[in-house]
Copies of this chain bind each other. A is one copy, B any other.
Amino acid sequence: MDRNFKAEEKYWSFLLPFLGNLEEKEQDEMTKFERVATGMGEECGVFGAYSLGGEDVAASVYYGLFALQHRGQESCGIAVTDTFGRRRFLSKKGLGHVNDVFDEETLLELKGNLGVGHVRYSTVGGTRVENAQPLVINYVKGTLSIAHNGNLVNAVELRKELEYTGAIFQTTIDSEVIAYHVARERLNTENAEGAVKNAMKKIKGAYALVVCSPRKMIGARDPFGLKPLCIGKRDQTYFLASESCAIAAVDAEFIRDVFPGEVVTISEKGIVSDMSMAIPKEKQARCIFEYIYFARTDSTIDGINVYHSRILAGKALAKSYPVEADLVIGVPDSGLVAAKGYSEQSGIPYGIGFHKNSYVGRTFIKPKQSERETSVKIKLSVIPEVVKGKRVIMVDDSIVRGTTCANIIKMLKQAGAEEVHVRISAPPFLYPCYFGTDVPSGDQLIAHTHTPEQIREMIGADSLGYMEIGMLKDMVGDLSYCDACFTGNYPMEVPEEDISLAFE
């Protein structure tokens, strides 16, 4: 399913009144301003670049962020420094996509050979530029810039602790908590990388970090490896990126993934690794949802190619939920590859069932005066020629509230599909994620309150099959992973209550 649909399903589903048996929730009562204060749930992307040869890196960071834009569309930012001279960070952050925030002139002004960028996840409505990253801070040893993907589970506790020693917080992002810990550890540590490592002893949760000190680029990944991070190189320039697709985008060579628990320090000495925070491989817990949905098809994370894992997911579905049909189609963009896998395994032809309107972007409005048109139709249309008279298997990656899925099935049937068999390349979400995946709360999720058979009936499918939990391991070989959102088996202790911050 398409990222815009995801957001829409949660916020606009009240617009689709024909699903009588789906209880419509009260529309979120938070105003635009209130929503932002929770600061929960962001998925993000980070990208660092360090040219030892002294070339400006802002353009490369800009390209890298473009390749990571799917990881966050709310806001973005770049901070750069000149390791030979200025030793001060220049930064530019703003709301919107990379090409909303940056233009030629701004990139030229961001002079410096060491830089880091960030893209942040977009929740509909609530945004504020104060929460954009990278954070640039001044502290006892000078200056640092920090970009962070992930979510801490002990952020509330750490904030409280910090506050009791006189800390003030100006954002609601965990990165500020991390920055404080790095700054404080630095008082008693020989160098910045040591401070990052010591901070890691305090912070618990999911994180991929890029921290730039005036002369070093430091990458770190939480010991479970929940969030991805990898290293690339092009001539004398080193890169750190959330996904390998961004390394490729800047025409660099992929070196390797940062290991779970590793701290890598890139400086004039090259890459120096500190593995002292690493934990045994079997305890590692990569987010399985990176493979299912977050990561780009052309990325490879910890040795497993995302495209390949989705093909395997489709194959697994075909094995578990075979059905006689004429055609397999995927819901763009994320369902396409799993559909291909289903087709390959089942021998049922793969078809191009949908046209996705690529002009419907962030700013699409649904005029109030329009009663008949649905936004689903504007974003996605069925190619009748393909599905008419066919028994269709439709593969998607998730069902959130069910309204979008029901609409798509309705469109397929109106276009002449005789049967629509839905296959979902992930198990149902049943548990909250505390590590940065924005899963709606329980009662917003159809799977939380209905059986698969009830869901099937509500969305109007002829059959419905979810990926089985036991088959997830097929997707990622012998890597150990986190599937807590499906199973409740969290790799670490998580808060009993919702950890969203209440500032009062």
- Which A residues fall within an 8 A CB radius of B? 31-34, 37, 56, 58-60, 62-63, 66-67, 69-70, 73, 86-88, 90-92, 97-100, 102-104, 107-111, 129, 135-140, 142-143, 159-160, 163-170, 172, 176, 179-180, 183-184, 187, 214, 234, 245, 248-251, 296-298, 300, 305, 307-308, 333, 336-337, 340, 350-352, 355, 357-361, 363-365, 367-370, 372-374, 377-378, 381-386, 503-504
Closest to A339 in B: B352
Closest Cβ of chain B to A179, distance in Å, is: 5
Contact A109 B170 (CB under 8 A): no
Instruction: Kindly report how many copies of this chain are found in the complex they form together.
Output: 4
Residues in B whose Cβ lies below 8 Å from that of A56: 369
Q: Among B142, B165, B369, point to the contact of A59 (Cβ < 8 A).
A: B369
Residues in B whose Cβ lies below 8 Å from that of A59: 367, 369-370, 373
> How many angstroms between the C-alpha atoms of A300 and B308 in the bound complex?
35
Contact B378 A66 (CB under 8 A): yes
> How many angstroms between the C-alpha atoms of A151 and B504 in the bound complex?
29
> How many angstroms between the C-alpha atoms of A34 and B90 in the bound complex?
7
Q: Is the interface of A mostly helix, strand, loop or mixed?
A: mixed
* Apart from the given pairs A137-B170, A138-B159, A296-B381, 12 other A-B contacts in the complex at a CB distance below 8 Å: A31-B111, A33-B109, A58-B367, A67-B381, A97-B359, A138-B172, A140-B164, A168-B176, A248-B381, A298-B384, A307-B352, A333-B358
- Given contacts A136-B170, A373-B251, A504-B88, whether A66 and B359 have CB atoms under 8 Å apart is yes
- Given contacts A34-B90, A307-B386, whether A251 and B110 have CB atoms under 8 Å apart is no
> How many angstroms between the C-alpha atoms of A386 and B245 in the bound complex?
15
- Given contacts A251-B372, A373-B251, whether A63 and B180 have CB atoms under 8 Å apart is no
> How many angstroms between the C-alpha atoms of A359 and B2 in the bound complex?
13
